[in-house]
Amino acid sequence: MLFKILFTASLLILLANSCTVSKTTTGANTSTTANSSAATRFTIAGPSNAVSYVEKYKKIAVTESIRTGIPASIKLAQGILESGYGGSPLAKNSNNHFGIKCGSGWSGKTVQYKGSCYRVFKNGTDAYKEHSYFLVKGSRYKDLFKLKRNDYKGWAKGLRKAGYATNPKYPSILIELIERYKLYNYDK
């Protein structure tokens, strides 16, 4: 009987410790703001490639969202869509998660892919930061910054209207990804 009690107590302690570790690993580090910390505690459910991708990039998406006003859900959904959950050749070989082309002002490394010039980044975090810079500095996207940071539907439609993508279904694809994985939780 004593063995059963000790065994049960040990399991409860082990379970409590694993819950604490889980909560710590999904929160933001101490160098980010309280808003960023609260937003990154949400964990998505879905296929392993989606979970892995969001877990890897949610902190930078939230940090950039707070800094620039671009919804984290939009950044994550665009990253998922444009990079195939980080598995596209452009994402894997060049860390370009958003399909950002070279452009005349780009002086960094480049790669030719399917007949076009694309930017090369050191890592995915740099790609997320450059995505923010690309939208903030692009005059055709200025009206998007009049929208609230949690208006992912307005942002999805506005990106298409501003010419970010040629696919007429681009907004509905982004919205579907955001709602499927509840990425809007990162906009809070």
| Cβ-based neighbours of 41, under 8 Å, separated by 6 or more | 23, 26, 27
Per the prediction, the chain carries an average pLDDT of 82
Q: How many CB atoms lie within 10 A of CB 92?
A: 12
pLDDT per residue as tens digits for the range 7-54: 333 333 333 332 222 222 233 333 444 555 555 677 777 778 899 999
pLDDT per residue as tens digits for the range 77-101: 999 999 999 999 999 999 999 999 9
Answer for the pair 174, 156: CB distance below 8 angstroms, yes or no: yes
pLDDT per residue as tens digits for the range 143-166: 999 999 999 999 999 999 999 998
Decide which of 3 and 125 is more confident: 125
pTM of the entire predicted model: 0.78
The CATH number given to 2-187 is 1.10.530.10
The partner residues of 111 in beta bridges, in order of sequence, read 118
